[in-house]
Chains A and B, each alone.
Chain A
C-alpha cells in the first residue's frame, strides 16, 4: 500500500512517533496493572507500581527473634539474628521507637527497656540485656532499607489454581460461544432481509430495531427472569443464550444491515437474474462478502458476553456448574473485596482469552476486508 501513501521519510517518522505516543498513552494504565499483579498487597498499597521497576528505599517494621531465645554470654543475655532472615539486606538507618524510625545509623547502639540493640547494615542484630528477657514477641525494629525490585507469582498462583476456576472457564465458554454465534446468525439473516428484500413494513421494522438499541438492560431483568421461570426455563444455559441474543440483536442487526446494504447492488441483482433464491444469494454471496463485518461483530459480542457479569448473575445460577469467570473472580475478591493484588492478577487472567480471540480473528478480519474490496461480478 506504500504507493498510496506517497512515501516521505519525514512524514513516516512523524506517523511512527505519533503512533508510539498513542500506544503508550493507551497501554500505560494497563501496564501499571500488569506490574501490580506481580506485587504483594502491602507493596501495592504503600508505593506506586513504577517504583517496583527499580531499587527503592522503604521504611519497614521488623521484629527480632523472641526474647526467650536469648542465650547467656559473659554474664549478659543476648539475642542474635538477621532482620531479613537469610536474605541480603541493605540497611541505611534504624530505630526502635515509632516516633523516630531513622534515629540510628547502622552499627550504632540503641537503648530500649534496659536492652541494648545494635543493627548492622546487612541486617545482623544483637540485643543484649543484663536480666534474662521474657516473652514470645520480639523487639520492634524500624529499618530503612534499599531493596531491589521484588516480584511474586503468588497472586497468579492463587487465581489460577484456586478451586473451580477451570470449571468456570468452561462454563464461560459454554455461555459465550453460542451467545456469540446465535445472534450473528439471526442478525445476518434479518439484516439481509432488511437490506435486499422488498416487503411491506420494512422501514417500520428498521426504525423499531434502531429504537430498541437504547433499552436499558436493567429494566428487562425482572420481567424476563419471571418469564423464564414461568415457562420452566429457570436459570439455565438456554435461558442465558436467549437473553444475550435478545440483548445483542439490535446492535448486531444495526451494524450488519449497515454493512450488508452497502454491498454492490450489481452482484446481488445479477445473481437474482441467474435464478438464485434469496437463501442461496445469502449463503453464497452475502455471507462470504460480509465476513469482515461478521468477524468484527463477533469479536465485540464475544467480548461483551465474556466480560458480562450482570446478565450472568441474573439468568444463570451461581452454583458450581453455572458460575462464570467474572462471577468466580468476584468471589475471589473475598467477602468485602479490597484485595487489589488478586483483582490485578484476575483481571489479567480474564483478559487473556479475549486478546487471543482478537489476535486470531484479526487475520481473518484483514483477509475478509481485502477480499471484500476486490470488485467482481
Chain B
C-alpha cells in the first residue's frame, strides 16, 4: 500500500510540475510585459515574440538532449573504432558496403517498407470504413485494435502458435501447418524459408499496425463534412464510388500521416525480427543489424554507421512529408 501512495505522490508531482511550468511561465510573461498601461502595444508584441519559445522550450530541450545529441554522437562514433577511441576515417563505411548481411538487410528493408505500410493502411482504411457503418462497429474496432495492446514479446508467442512447425509425421501445433496438412499439403518451417519468411514476419507487423491505422483513419472519416457526401448521394453515386471518389481524397492528408508513421516504425522495428528469427534464414533487417553490432559485437562504430543509414533512408520520405505539410498550411 505504501508503494501506492509513493507512486501516486511521484505521479502527482511529476505531472503538476509540468503543468505549473506552463502556467507560471505564462503568468510571469504577462507580469513582465503587461498588456495594459501605456506600453501595452509594445508589450504585447514583445510577449508574442517570446511566448512561442516558452511553449516550445520544454519540447526543444528534451528533443535536443534525447534525440539530437545521440544523433551527433552517432555521427562522431561512425568515424571511430569499436570503442569510439581512435579515429578510423571511412573504415566503418567501407566495411558496411562490403558486408553481405548489409546487402541482405537493405533488400529486406525495401520489402518491409513497401509491404507493411501499404497493407496496414489498406486494411486500416477498409476496417475504418466498414466498422463505421454497422451497429457493433465499436466492438469490432476494439477487437481489431487489440493487437496494438500486446507487447512484442506477447505477439511473438502468439505467432509462434501460428507458424510453429513439427515434422510431417507428428501432430502439428501451429495453426498454419495444421491448415496446410488438413488441405492435403506438406507442412513447412515457414519462418526458415528464405525470402518468403520476410512476409511471414511482416504479416505480424501488419496485424499489429492495422489497429493504429484504423483508429486514426476512422477519426478522419468521421470528420468529413456531411454536405459533400449528401450531395454525392443526391447525384446517385454508389456507396463504393462515394468511398473511393469522395471520402478517400478528402482524407488524403491523414492517410499520408498514417503511412509515414508506419514507415518510420518499420525502419525502427527489430523486436519482431529479433524474437522470431534474429535475422537468420536471410531475414535480417537494418535495425536488428544495428542492435547486433551494438550489443553483441559491442562495436559502436559499426552500429552507428548502420543507424545513420536508417536515418538517411527515411530522409526522402521526410522531405516529401514536410513539403506536403507546408503546402497544406498555405
Any A–B CB pair closer than 8 Å: yes
Q: List A residues at the B interface (Cβ < 8 Å).
A: 1, 4-6, 8, 11-12, 15-16, 18-19, 22-23, 26-30, 32-33, 36, 44-50, 167, 170-171, 173-174, 177-178, 181-182, 185-187, 189-190, 192-194, 197, 199, 203, 205-220, 222-224, 227, 237-238, 241-243, 245-247, 249-251, 253-255, 257-258, 261-262, 277-279, 282, 292-293, 296, 299-300, 303, 306-307, 309, 321, 326, 329-330, 340, 343-344, 346-347, 350-351, 354-355, 358-359, 362, 365-366, 369-370, 372-373
Out of A243, A251, A258, name the residue touching B66 (CB < 8 Å).
A243
The dominant DSSP class at the A interface is: helix
Q: Are B51 and A343 in contact, CB atoms less than 8 angstroms apart?
A: no
Which B residues, 283 to 330, have Cβ-Cβ distances below 8 Å to chain A? 287, 290-291, 294-295, 300, 303-304, 307, 310-311, 314-315, 318, 321-322, 325-326, 328-329
Q: Are B149 and A182 in contact, CB atoms less than 8 angstroms apart?
A: no
CB distance from B278 to the nearest CB of A (A): 14
Out of A185, A199, A254, A307, name the residue touching B152 (CB < 8 Å).
A307
Q: Are A245 and B268 in contact, CB atoms less than 8 angstroms apart?
A: no
Q: Are A11 and B239 in contact, CB atoms less than 8 angstroms apart?
A: yes
Q: List the A side residues contacting B268 at CB < 8 Å.
A: 214, 216-217
Q: Are A223 and B51 in contact, CB atoms less than 8 angstroms apart?
A: no
Q: Does B280 contact A (CB under 8 A)?
A: no
- A219 and B233 in contact (CB under 8 A), knowing A29-B175, A205-B60? no
- A321 and B3 in contact (CB under 8 A), knowing A33-B157, A246-B62? yes
Q: Are B229 and A167 in contact, CB atoms less than 8 angstroms apart?
A: no
Q: Are B51 and A4 in contact, CB atoms less than 8 angstroms apart?
A: no
Q: Are A33 and B161 in contact, CB atoms less than 8 angstroms apart?
A: yes
Q: Are B158 and A251 in contact, CB atoms less than 8 angstroms apart?
A: no
CB distance from A331 to the nearest CB of B (A): 12
- A18 and B130 in contact (CB under 8 A), knowing A211-B315, A216-B307, A250-B67? yes
Q: List the A side residues contacting B96 at CB < 8 Å.
A: none
Bitwise, B243-267 to A at CB < 8 A (1) or not (0) is 0000000000110010001001001
Besides A36-B161, A189-B58, A197-B55, 8 other A-B contacts (C-beta < 8 A): A48-B174, A170-B4, A182-B14, A193-B51, A193-B55, A210-B325, A249-B67, A340-B160
Stretch binding the partner chain, chosen from B86-94, B103-111, B133-141, B194-202: B133-141
Q: List the B side residues contacting A205 at CB < 8 Å.
A: 56, 60
Q: Are A199 and B223 in contact, CB atoms less than 8 angstroms apart?
A: no
- A216 and B52 in contact (CB under 8 A), knowing A23-B140, A347-B158? no
CB distance from B43 to the nearest CB of A (A): 12
Q: Are A22 and B130 in contact, CB atoms less than 8 angstroms apart?
A: yes
- A220 and B67 in contact (CB under 8 A), knowing A47-B173, A343-B157? yes
Q: Does B82 contact A (CB under 8 A)?
A: no
Q: Are B142 and A362 in contact, CB atoms less than 8 angstroms apart?
A: yes
Q: Are A26 and B147 in contact, CB atoms less than 8 angstroms apart?
A: yes
Q: Give Cα A5 to B239, complex, Å.
A: 7
Q: Does B120 contact A (CB under 8 A)?
A: no
